[in-house]
Amino acid sequence: MEWQLISAATIGSHHRDELMPRNGQDAFFYSYDPETGNGLAVVADGCGSSEYSEVGAHLGVRLLADVWDRTGRKTPGYHRFSWGHISPRSDEFLAVLISPLVEKLRVALLPLGDINTPDRLRDAVKHYGTFTLNGVVWNHDAMVFFCIGDGVTVINGKADMIEPPERDDPELTNAPQYLGYTVLDPTIPVDLRYYRVHSTASIQSFVIASDGFGPLLDAADTLLPGQRRTFGAISQFWTEDKYFQSAERNGEEHPPVRAQLLLNLAARVMKKTKRGPDGPLPDIETFPGLLDDDTTFIVGRRRPDPTQPDTKES
């Protein structure tokens, strides 16, 4: 069984301030080998209140990929019984992939701390190391879905909004417990907010996304900013072949772009001159974007069998 993968990422409207725009703070990585069946897809979302959290986000996904690669691209975190049943082993997953990632992050972040502070690692984590991780790692047997922090995961069309824990203390916010906290203090356990193990044969499609993806789940009938066209059902990203078709420019083949184009249309803020019966008016009409927060997603689906009739959803 082979998989097709696409991705898209955009900056949310809150980061598009005309006077003081900010970088996008998400990052993503994916890799899949159809010969071995081994795959990894992960999205990181940097904390909005940290100045350079996109640095940690990019480090997080790349270093996790490196850890996975050094294991031989194995899928830890499950046990398959001889009669086909699969059970989760989150402790093994944390030990094989996440603990080495924490150590690699500690080494990578330490030099980024301010040399004039008494605790360089604390300074580095504060400015660069606060981000969430949402992903899936798989082989021919099992798919292990995980989330540290928050995000959105869609499996076979069923969406899960993964939220931070509610706090009893009103002085505390409901912000996720970032992986950087464990980097800073190894006694703080990794907050594995979401952990699901499925047989690979049972999965037809999945989406791994940052929490900014949430508004799109219910945007099917919402007009795109400044247009008469609606966004459409979220299932289009895994049911419609056009999103997986390569783009051709100047005689060269490029990765698919339709998902990215639609995401850009949904996120942008449109401004149009109002028109009256006698022509343009001095007023400007603003059409807000559908996405306040940075939004990044990876879609995976089973490669369609060309010998089977077309059964994609409308």
pLDDT tens-digit series, residues 206-226: 999 999 999 999 999 999 999
- State the pLDDT confidence band at 312, using cuts at 50, 70 and 90: very low
Mean per-residue pLDDT of the chain: 89
* pLDDT for residue 310 is more than 50: no
- State the pLDDT confidence band at 250, using cuts at 50, 70 and 90: confident
**CA neighbor of 146 nearest in space, from 201, 91, 105:** 91
Amino acid at 27: A
- State the pLDDT confidence band at 313, using cuts at 50, 70 and 90: very low
- State the pLDDT confidence band at 287, using cuts at 50, 70 and 90: confident
Provide the whole-model pTM.
0.90
* pLDDT for residue 19 is more than 70: no
96-142 tens-digit pLDDT: 999 999 999 999 999 999 999 999 999 999 999 999 999 999 999 99
* pLDDT for residue 76 is more than 80: yes
Pairing of β 38-46 and β 26-33 = antiparallel
Q: What is the mean pLDDT of residues 19-38?
A: 86
Q: What is the mean pLDDT of residues 8-24?
A: 73
Greatest pairwise CA separation for the chain in angstroms: 77
Long-range contacts of residues 121-124, Cβ cutoff 8 Å, at least 24 apart = 121/183, 121/184, 122/184
CA–centroid distance for 227 within its chain = 27
135-154 tens-digit pLDDT: 999 999 999 999 999 999 99
Measured on CA atoms in the order 184, 186, 192, 195, is the torsion positive or negative?
positive
Q: What is the mean pLDDT of residues 20-33?
A: 85
The pLDDT value recorded for residue 1 is: 64
Max mean pLDDT range (152-156, 244-248, 251-255, 271-275): 152-156
Q: What is the mean pLDDT of residues 16-23?
A: 60
**Percent of all residues in the chain with a pLDDT value above 90, rounded to a whole number:** 72
Q: Quick one: CA torsion of 138, 68, 42, 111, rounded to 10 degrees?
A: 170
The encoded tokens of residue 240 equal: 């419609």
d(CA 67, CA 74): 10
Measured on CA atoms in the order 298, 11, 148, 153, is the torsion positive or negative?
negative
Determine contact, residues 243/258, Cβ cutoff 8 Å: yes
Query: Residue 84 burial (CB < 10 Å; 0-12/13-18/19+)?
Result: exposed
Q: For the stretch 261-294, what's the b/e string if a residue is b when 16 or more beta carbons lie within 10 angstroms of its beta carbon?
A: ebbebbbbeeeeeeeeeeeeeeeeeeeebbbebb
**CA neighbor of 159 nearest in space, from 123, 126, 194:** 194
The end-to-end CA distance of the chain, in Å, is 24
Q: What is the mean pLDDT of residues 227-241?
A: 96
* Contact residues for 278 (Cβ-Cβ < 8 A; gap 6+): none
The encoded tokens of residue 225 equal: 């900013």
d(CA 152, CA 299): 12
Task: Provide DSSP, 250-287.
Answer: TTEEE---HHHHHHHHHHPPEEEEEEETTEEEEEEEEE
- State the pLDDT confidence band at 314, using cuts at 50, 70 and 90: very low
Q: What is the mean pLDDT of residues 196-212?
A: 97
Tell me how many degrees the CA angle 148-142-152 measures, rounded to the nearest 5.
35
